[in-house]
Structure 1
Amino acid sequence: MLKAGRIVPPGPHVFAVQFNYTTGTRSAVGDNYRVDAQGQAGGAVSVRGGFAGR
């Protein structure tokens, strides 16, 4: 979530996340993401998805 008063300029953007977990294999099947955006004119868009397991 952006801090109050902050904006992301129009254009393409790449977002990345990282987390740490204990040593060993881990399936990403249950992991997912969601991005919600609202334009200055009030239009809204939501993108969501998941990750393939190993």
Structure 2
Amino acid sequence: MDTVALYHMAGGFFVELFYNPLDNVLQDKLRTFVSTALLEPYASVVNLDDLKLE
């Protein structure tokens, strides 16, 4: 199972970076997006109040 790291980048976009902790390697897979709707799966596990979303 992959672990996903979410980054909020300068310019207002997001990046999901996929990591395999069992093999200790970054996956050859990432996703970029600007839609805050795609943040919904993170709402229960992270605090997004400090982000300045425009």
Instruction: Give TM-score scaled by structure 2 length.
Output: 0.29
More strand by share: 2
Structure index of larger Rg = 1
Instruction: Give TM-score scaled by structure 1 length.
Output: 0.29
